[in-house]
Structure 1
């Protein structure tokens, strides 16, 4: 057999061209994906009841710092920790200067009344004389003026006497409500000025919790809502219930939170202290039904949050969503394209992280 090098080169060239064509066909054909197993759950629509945990502080509803009503020397001040009832004496100013001033004013008032009687008699006498032309009209006018001035002096003296009596009442500082003296600012024997702080009184029988909640939850809170309070050790926490009495819709631009106040129930106040820090569970109940999915369905990416919907032909479709509040393993969602999701749609909860758009899947039973 004759060896022909040209035929061999031609054959090799044909093989190379054929391999190249096959390679090009493989390069430009659509990529194929293996069928991926996924677990799915369906979208539900219902009202979601969730809770928010925040910190709060207890206060007496009527906590107050009481000041002196008059200037003077302290003769008594209640000690911190003293349990007092309404109208019990908390502090007392030396009454002697005020008592002397009152006695002096009473004498001045009596003197003015005596002078008024004299002026009345003198005025009546001059009026009788004026009728018989025995007294000048100017004398009558002067007597009338003296009478009126004396009457005014009596009124001023009576007012001054009431002022002194009020000061005597203010010199004895009484508890405006039942509570405990928490702080004493001055001691017995001190000379004090009017409006100077003397004691602080806390209202231990009417405690309220004050807490700050993110403003995005404002719509979920209303008067009468019940809050769960707890404090102390985790294995044996101290617990109580409180009822919302005030929702204050004002927020700090930086904190973006609003204040809520809630009264402790009467039978729960004995074992709590004013100023105590507590953990508060705030229920967030929506009045509208929302689309609910399992938290495992959420896929976090740099572009945002999305889920994978499994279509009827068992192919994957990525849907961008906005996440709402959650409770346990359930979370509310809203599709950015409002028509992309509906109740009953199948959502991948496992195996969705690596799925490509349009990839075929095999439904596996959820664990």
Structure 2
């Protein structure tokens, strides 16, 4: 009987405990949840930050294009119909001004010169004969004039009128003969002058049988072939680059053109060439292509550069160098209203309007708005607002000098 009573009492106590537990549990659970929520509210979010640092910036413009000759000339034959008999230059040769590049067959012109020499000799003989005739005519005229003057002084009282008329006729004849001799001399002299003109023309033609370089430079192309017939209006025999000067002709965006200046330095890269080539901006186009919105830029390569006309090249133009405050580009948010960044000071977020200077790689120069040494949120985050408290965790400063 005692054992039954004890068991009954234990069961009652156990049941009462369970009832109390289930009665108190609903009241205890909300307090735990509110405690966890309060803990979450109190703990500030963690953000990655970097320090704004002073660093050097280089403003660069990258362009690419085709290698072209700065000044190039087509060298053609100055005379038609002659055969090319000698070649003295090849592609890639460096030549001096006036250097003979090719020779044409001159045998036909040599024969014409020989004919001219003979004609000139005949003209000289004709001149000598004409001069002798003039001298004889002048002497005859002098004799006739003296004879007529003597007869005229004596008059018809002493000499017969017929005799005086005869002497007058002789004077007129001598005068006419002198005029004829002088005319013959003039014709001979004119013939000699004509022969001289022919000779000068032949000498010009003879000189043109030598095809010469118009200026010092580099032979970029040779079309001349031995045995071919030269033609002044046909295909040029050679193409020559003056002084071997080569330019990179590139296209630059319209907005970049005002930043470019003549004389700016550039580093060029050529396919297959390990080292960079130094160049300078030589020409900036005065107009922009209305379709592509780009303008042509010419960059002069340094003398002796291993470049070939028509090849591809890229260039990095150094526009400006500056020293300023640098931050990662990811730390700046930009829109129509301007540029902004978030600064953390004493654990509190501040929003700053900034002025951007030079962009280099993944870094931006901050011309105003952030001072060197200030802590900047590494990545502009939409969930952060001015006045928010945060826990700053340093990140490697991408805006620092590489």
| TM-score grouping bracket, smaller chain normalisation | 0.5 to 0.7
Q: Deviations over 1:119-150 (max 9, x none)?
A: 33333444444445335656555544543454
State the partner residue of 2:193: 155
Task: Find 2:221's aligned residue among 172, 182, 189.
Answer: 182
State the partner residue of 1:113: 124
1:246 pairs with 2:246: no
More strand by share: 1
TM-score by length of 2: 0.62
TM-score by length of 1: 0.67
**Is the alpha carbon distance of 1:181 and 1:289 closer, same or farther for their aligned partners in structure 2, counting shifts above 3 Å?**
closer
Return the offset for 1:103.
Answer: 1.8
Show structure 2 runs of 5+ residues with no match: 1-42, 146-170, 396-402
Greater Rg, structure 1 or structure 2?
2
Aligned pairs (5 A) from 1:1-367:
38=47, 39-42=49-52, 48-59=57-68, 63-76=72-85, 78=87, 84=93, 86=95, 90-132=101-143, 133=145, 134=171, 140-141=178-179, 143-175=181-213, 179=218, 182-184=221-223, 187-201=225-239, 206=244, 208-212=246-250, 214=252, 216-217=256-257, 219-223=259-263, 225=265, 227-232=267-272, 238-244=274-280, 246-254=282-290, 255-266=293-304, 268-269=305-306, 272-286=307-321, 292-301=326-335, 303=336, 306-310=339-343, 314-317=348-351, 319=353, 321=355, 325-332=358-365, 341=369, 343-344=371-372, 346=374, 348-354=376-382, 358-362=386-390, 364-367=392-395
State the partner residue of 2:34: none
Return the offset for 1:42.
Answer: 3.4
SS of the counterpart of 2:207?
helix
Partners in 2 of 1:341 and 1:311 — Cα distance? 13
SS of the counterpart of 1:159?
helix
**Is the alpha carbon distance of 1:252 and 1:97 closer, same or farther for their aligned partners in structure 2, counting shifts above 3 Å?**
farther
SS of the counterpart of 2:83?
strand
SS of the counterpart of 2:308?
coil
Of 77-86 and 87-96, deviating more is 77-86
SS of the counterpart of 2:78?
coil
**Is the alpha carbon distance of 1:297 and 1:204 closer, same or farther for their aligned partners in structure 2, counting shifts above 3 Å?**
same
More helix by share: 2
SS of the counterpart of 1:196?
coil
**Is the alpha carbon distance of 1:341 and 1:124 closer, same or farther for their aligned partners in structure 2, counting shifts above 3 Å?**
farther
Maintained 8 Å contact 1:115/1:150: yes
Maintained 8 Å contact 1:244/1:263: yes
Partners in 2 of 1:324 and 1:245 — Cα distance? 23
